Amino acid sequence: MGIIRQLANAFWCEDVWLPPNTTWADLEKNDIIRHTDYRDLIYPLPMALVLLLVRYVFERYWFAPIGLSLGIKNSRQKKAPNNAVLEKAYSCKGKIKHKQIKGLAKQLDWTERQVERWLRLRHSQDKPSTLTKFCENSWRCFYYFTAFHCGIFCLWDKPWLWDINQCWYEYPHQSLTDDVWWYYMISLAFYWSLTVSQFTDVRRKDFWQMFVHHMAAISLLSLSWICNLTRIGTLVLLVHDIADILLEAAKMAKYSGYQRVCDTIFAVFTITWIVTRLGIYPFWIIYSTTIEAPAIVAMFPAYYIFNSLLTLLLLLHVIWTYLILKIVCNSLKAGQMEGDIRSSSCDDVSSEEKAADAANGIQPKGRSVSPKIPVTE
């Protein structure tokens, strides 16, 4: 117990977590100011489980019926013919190399094209249905829409929404209100739920980038809570939620077959994304945390960590903006929204491959290309 207490005391060092001349005793509960309590960070964990349950109910009994009514099919790709040899090769970890394909073709007395075709079908067979992806996006769209409007309702009468320097005046002795408490806890719970569900949701190409994003968001929210930086934290949440609503809505329109609606929403999303993520976020929030805050508040180590995480988030925004603009350029050339930086579908089959399949007596199978819009959080 003595060692644990020493480690805890070393971790919760006041020189690291608090501004100069401030102690933990100064942040104890009192009748005048309600400071944040780091022990509250345990609440988002059970709340995340509740959100996962709510998501399951909503997807099954609300979003799925809506998707079916829009004509979205719940069918998967046609199954590949049973083949024990190829199934064993497919189940092995790692990508099957061309040398292995040649060996399998020789073993089965097939052409290499037939083996490749079977592997593509088998890979597509594991992909989730369009309805499943529609339900996932519907849930995220519903959450971001609700969270953004709750954030507006929560912050409308708060002075720091209109004057960001109010985030730093009298810091760290800034009182916490009940609405901000709930706004923070539910946001943390949502990101915890995303971190868990990411391993069961549709697998995207930027899986690890999104994992880093979720971890950075959780770290930012937790760190700002411990340091009572909730005012600037609420602004970060508000700026990030609005563009995500449009992105998820565009994907929903794509899955539903409303291409023009999808293109229109995506165009509005692109503008909103650039304005909020590369405009308001760096030139209003990060500018304040980097330039204005040090002139008002005495700096401390945890604050530099907090600001570094904000910068990491901006770096992710820059990367995703490049990918989004790449999609826009390709779409302008093609005439519609195509090319998915986070597509869950297997690689497209070229016309040459289709011709080769036909020459080898392989009939082309029906395959649905997943909606091709980048997904960011």
Report whether 104 contacts 83 (CB < 8 A).
no
In angstroms, what CA-CA distances link 245 with 115, 162, 285, 299?
Answer: 42, 23, 21, 35
d(CA 322, CA 373): 14
In angstroms, what CA-CA distances link 125 with 94, 101, 175, 292, 362?
Answer: 18, 19, 54, 54, 17
Tell me the backbone φ, ψ of residue 22, rounded to 5 degrees: -125, 135
Model pLDDT, residue 343: 45
**Residues 6 or more apart from 280 whose CB is under 8 A from it?**
239
**What are the structure tokens assigned to 182, written together?**
């709930």
Model pLDDT, residue 125: 66
Model pLDDT, residue 58: 96
d(CA 220, CA 334): 39
Model pLDDT, residue 362: 38
Tell me the backbone φ, ψ of residue 173, rounded to 5 degrees: -90, 70
In the chain, where are the structural domains located? 34-70+128-334
Report whether 285 contacts 236 (CB < 8 A).
yes
In the numeric block, the tokens 């995303």 are attached to: 194
d(CA 332, CA 335): 5
- The one-digit pLDDT tens for each residue of the chain (377 residues) are 678 877 877 888 888 898 998 888 888 878 889 999 989 999 999 999 999 999 999 999 999 999 999 999 876 666 767 777 777 777 775 677 778 888 888 888 888 888 888 877 776 666 778 898 899 999 999 999 999 999 999 999 999 999 999 999 999 999 999 999 999 999 999 999 999 988 877 776 667 778 888 888 899 999 999 999 999 999 999 999 999 999 999 999 999 999 999 999 999 999 999 999 999 999 999 999 999 999 999 999 999 999 998 998 899 899 989 989 998 888 787 765 554 444 443 333 343 344 334 333 334 433 333 334 444 44
In the numeric block, the tokens 């602004």 are attached to: 235
d(CA 46, CA 52): 10
d(CA 123, CA 87): 11
d(CA 223, CA 55): 27
**Residues 6 or more apart from 180 whose CB is under 8 A from it?**
154, 158, 230, 234
